[in-house]
Amino acid sequence: MCAVSVGGVTFSAMPLITVTDEVVGAPSGPTWTIEVFEEEVRLDELIRRRVSLEIAESGVDADAGERTRLTLDAFRRNAFVVLVDDRQVTDLGEKIHLHAGSRVTFLKLVPLVGG
């Protein structure tokens, strides 16, 4: 958490991180800036929040639990990778250290032609 002191009073601000969707070989997808309430979060929780954010912004009536399950399954099948500050995170249980300005990229992979 960030803290700023002004005139002897300390104000706390939640760090802001950037979340981006990208597809190999395509223009960047949507980008969101979100507040994080802790410095460490497990990858599976970060994915759950990302899915919930997409559902909320789309206005579509969807089952967040089911969409999260499908997204986690896709991660396990290597349909996409997650990069945090340009470092690939491969374990859903890994705790990720986030700080103000962290960049989280969900990079969708596409199969090679014929492979």
The architecture (CATH level 2) of 13-108 comes to Roll (3.10)
- Nearest Cα to Cα of residue 47 among 86, 1, 80: 80
Give residue 23's pLDDT: 85
* Predicted confidence band of residue 113 (pLDDT cuts 50, 70, 90): low
Classify burial at 37, counting beta carbons within 10 Å of its beta carbon; exposed 0-12, middle 13-18, buried 19 or more: exposed
Q: Which of 11-15, 33-37, 101-105 has the lowest mean pLDDT?
A: 11-15
Q: Would you say residue 46 has pLDDT above 80?
A: yes
**pLDDT for 31:** 86
The yes-or-no verdict on residue 67 having pLDDT over 90 is yes
* Order of all β-strands in the sheet with 80-84: 31-35, 16-23, 103-108, 80-84, 87-89
Q: Where are the alpha helices (DSSP H) in 1-115?
A: 43-58, 64-76
Q: What percent of the chain has pLDDT over 70?
A: 83
Q: Whole-number mean pLDDT of the chain?
A: 84
86's CB contacts (< 8 A; 6+ apart) are 103
